[in-house]
Amino acid sequence: MPREILSDQGSALHKGSKQFCQAQPETSFIYDIKHKVAAVRKRALGADGAWQEFSRWAGQTNQRVQQTALAALAPPRQRRKARYMNVAELVTWGVRMLQYLDEDGSQRQAWDPQRVEPAVGWVRQYRHEVEPWRQGVEGGTITEQFVKPPGGATGGAQQFPRQLAAAGPLPQTQQLGAEFVQFVRKEEAKVTAGERLGGSSDVIESIVGKGKRLAGDQARSGLTGLVLALGALVAPTTAEVIKRALTTVPTKTVLTWCRDKLGKTVQATRRTLFTSLRKAAQKPDQLLLAA
C-alpha cells in the first residue's frame, strides 16, 4: 500500500485520490509545493488589475522588440499553460528594467533613447507595484526551497516562519506568508516521527521526462513496453546487472506482461485498422487482374 500520493490537485485525479486515502488511512495525500505556490499566486495576481495590465504590456513589448536591435530588452515569453508557475521570470524582468531605466545615461547600453523609451518606458508606471510582486515571488520561492530538500521532516515547520520573514515586510507579503506557514504546518501534521514524505514532484516529473525522450514519437500514442525502462533510468546499471536481467527475464515474459497490463496503444490500433483497410482496398484490384 503506498504511503503517499503526491498530487498537483488537478481535477482529473483529485476526487479519486481523496477517496483512496479515505479508504486507506495509511496513505497520505500531499499537495505538490510548486503547484500550491502557483495556486496562491494565481489567486493573488489573478485579481490584481495592475498585474493583468503589466502582463499584457509585456506580451506586446516582446512582439515589438524581439526582432530588433532592442531584443536584449525583451521580456520573457509568457506561457499559456502553467503561467503562474513562471511568474518569477516576468517580475525579475520588471525589477531589472526599472534599474536600467533609472541608471545614469552614461551607464546605459548605447541604444537610442528615443527608441528605448517607447519600448520599455511604460514599466515606470508600475514602480509601486513591482516591489510587492517581488516580495510575493520571494516568499513563494523560500517556501519551495524549504519544502523540497527535506521532504517533510517533522519539526521543520517551527523554523519556517523565521526563514519566510526574509521575503519582506509589506502587509501583502505577510499575508501570503501566513498562508504558506499554515499550509506547511498542515502538511507536516501528516508525517509521523522520524519519517520524510516527498513534497515536490520534481524528481517524478524528471523521470517521466526521461521516459518520454526514450520513447520518442511512441510517447504520443500511450504507454508502451518502454515504461519498464523507467527503473533502469534511476538505478545503477552495470554489465553484471544487465546480464542478470537478460538471463532472468525472457523476452516472452516481457511481451506477455505488456499485452496483459498495457493493451494496445493508439498507434498499434491505428496500424491494425489501416492494414485491414489496405487489404480490403487491394482485393478488387486483385480480382480484376485475375479476370
Closest CA to 9 of 17, 1, 26: 17
Straight-line distance from the first to the last Cα atom of the chain, in angstroms, rounded to the nearest whole number: 66
HEC letters along 57-120: HHHHHHHHHCCCCCHHHCCCCCCCCCHHHCHHHHHHHHHHHHHHHHCCHHHCCCCCHHHHHHHH
What pLDDT is stored for residue 126 in this prediction? 97
Residue spans of the domains in the chain: they are 32-200, 202-285
Task: Count Cβ atoms within 10 A of the Cβ of residue 278 and give its class: 0-12 exposed, 13-18 middle, 19 or more buried.
Answer: exposed
Q: What is the pLDDT of residues 135-149, one digit of tens each?
A: 999 999 999 999 987
Query: Is pLDDT at 286 greater than 60 in this prediction?
Result: no
- All cell numbers assigned to 225: 513496453
pTM: 0.77
DSSP letter (8 states) at residue 3: S
User: Which residue type, as a one-letter code, is found at position 41?
Assistant: R
Q: What is the pLDDT of residues 201-227, one digit of tens each?
A: 888 888 888 888 888 877 677 778 888
